[in-house]
Amino acid sequence: MSCAVMAAHLRCWCDYAWADAIRYGNCALRAYVCRMTLTIPFDNSYIRLPDTFYARQAPVPVRAPRMVAFNDELAQLLRITPGEVEEMTQAFAGNTVPDGAQPLAQLYSGHQFGNYNPQLGDGRAVLLGETVGTDGIRRDIQLKGSGPTPFSRQGDGRAWLGPVLREYVVSEAMHALGIPTTRALAAVETGEIVLREGPMPGAVLTRVAQSHLRVGTFQVFAARGQLDNLRRLTDYAIERHYPQAVGPMGLLRVVRDAQARLIAQWMSVGFIHGVMNTDNCSIAGETIDYGPCAFMDSYHPNTVYSSIDRMGRYAYSNQPEIAVWNLAQLATALIQQVEDKEAAVEEATEIVHAMPELMQAHWLERFRAKIGLVTQEEGDLQMISDLLTRMAQNGADFTNTFRALGTDRARDQFTDPAAFDQWAEGWQARLQREEVPAEVMKAANPAFIPRNHRIEQMIQAAVQGEYAPFHRLNDVFSQPYADQPGAADLMRPPTQDEVVHATFCGT
């Protein structure tokens, strides 16, 4: 990476020296005059849980790490003081363990595609520790792709560059879209080869999450009948995420609320997670694990991208139902610790059964905004559904159709523009009763989403050592609701040749 590019990603308070380094294009100069030391104010809580919860595991060093990206804005939020490029590179590759870190691999289990797998766990990740950010929120700092752990099973514990860059770009884009998500602090190339479909360049992602507690973290202790651990975990989750919640059923209720809101947000931007296994379902209500995820281009409810989702279990329109299924698994696990099972089952049933309606309410709120409605009327659901049906029948691009509503470009998205015109008649009449539809719509309909073909092109370039597309995507997606005339190419759906038909897990 050039010094200039690095400059955009690494902050240094020796402004004068830094400016020189850029001017002379000489990173060595910066290293000579600028002597900041990487400082991460760790404050670790997970390690104080019983040692059955994790295995202590240091990251395994790599041969020749090279810094690809560092998220300066996120570092500030985490109260991290960046250091020398070389020092940061070694730390975020896992070659050195920063002061205060207590690396560990977390234990969990989970249902994968509906089948219970009794032991999963961090097979290619280590939690370095936690920091409390400037916003008062505690977050995990985790290296992903950092080598084998006791939970690696047959895996090599590594990640290749493609999924690391995909997760970096997409998770940061989700954040900018205003959707709860894990985030990306750094990406480092390892200088080593990992074997996937062929030899691929290895990489490590530094992931930041409000926690890595999953439905599967509860399931593992419930399945093993370790009720003390289950109670400890429940207390920990409540204290860390939902101090207002009381008891296991109180926790179930707030996790339901967070998940219901999250899934409605995914639906509203055409996001398909792709692998909604219970080990990928976050208790904090964040989007986690950007394996085979994708944003839809042309709208169809049955859209599936994941190469391993052959039955379409995690198709776009199935996501709400799967979220309920996952919550039912959490309920089943949580109930184990309650003395009065009958009462708990009754309460849990009520909580889980209320989830679809809750999701529907969030969904309706989001989609009302997408078509410019603030007030609520009986026929709104029907109007939105009608538009979606027509979009599906006419191959309309999900993002561009909504973004173009209110302009004459919306009808161009439809193979039969008359299908849109017919709908728009009723819609225009409905809009008469709204005050500021255009503003509402703009804030609810992003212009920019990380389209799959652009992600694939970005990865192909990076594999060739060309990182300009990666940086550009991060740049443009950081303001997804703004008009950016210079980035019109990133609004364009894929051509026939560019369409990505399948996405692959990050393994």
Place of tokens 């003395």: 339
Gap between the Cα atoms of 59 and 75, Å rounded = 21
115 φψ region: left (φ > 0), alpha (ψ -120 to 50), beta (else)? beta
Contact window for Mg ion (CB under 5 A) among 188-196, 277-285, 305-313, 319-327: 277-285
Rule CB under 5 A: is residue 167 a binding residue for Mg ion? no
411 binds, among ligand AMP, Mg ion, none (CB under 5 to 8 A by kind): none
**Beta pairing partners, 112:** 115
Rule CB under 6 A: is residue 196 a binding residue for ligand AMP? no
| Tokens linked to 269 | 């931007």
Minimum CB distance to Mg ion, residue 147 (Å): 17
| Tokens linked to 413 | 């998205």
Rule CB under 6 A: is residue 155 a binding residue for ligand AMP? yes
Which listed residue (279, 289, 297, 397) is catalytic?
279
Which residues inside 103-132 make contact with ligand AMP, applying CB under 6 A?
120-124
CA distance readout (Å), 342 to 219, 228, 325, 338, 382 = 20, 20, 20, 9, 39
Residue 279 annotated as catalytic: yes
- State which residue, 8 or 55, has the beta carbon closest to ligand AMP: 55
Rule CB under 6 A: is residue 39 a binding residue for ligand AMP? no
172 binds, among Mg ion, ligand AMP, none (CB under 5 to 8 A by kind): none
- The residue from 122, 140, 189, 289 that contacts Mg ion (CB under 5 A) is 289
Among candidate residues 50, 209, 49, 56, the one with its CA nearest the CA of residue 140? 209
Which residues inside 257-286 make contact with ligand AMP, applying CB under 6 A?
275, 279-280
Rule CB under 6 A: is residue 505 a binding residue for ligand AMP? yes
CB neighbour list of residue 388: distance below 8 Å, 6 or more residues apart: 299, 301
Q: Cα torsion for 299, 304, 306, 310, to the nearest 10°? A: -170
- The residue from 45, 81, 152, 478 that contacts ligand AMP (CB under 6 A) is 152
Angle between helices 355-370 and 319-335 (to 10 degrees): 150
- The residue from 39, 52, 360, 507 that contacts ligand AMP (CB under 6 A) is 507
Is 203:143 a contact under the CB 8 Å cutoff? no
- Which positions from 158 to 187 touch ligand AMP by CB under 6 A, shown as an x/- string? x-----------------------------
Residues annotated catalytic, as ranges: 279
Positions in the binding site for Mg ion (CB under 5 A): 280, 289
Positions in the binding site for ligand AMP (CB under 6 A): 120-124, 151-152, 155-158, 275, 279-280, 289, 291, 505-507
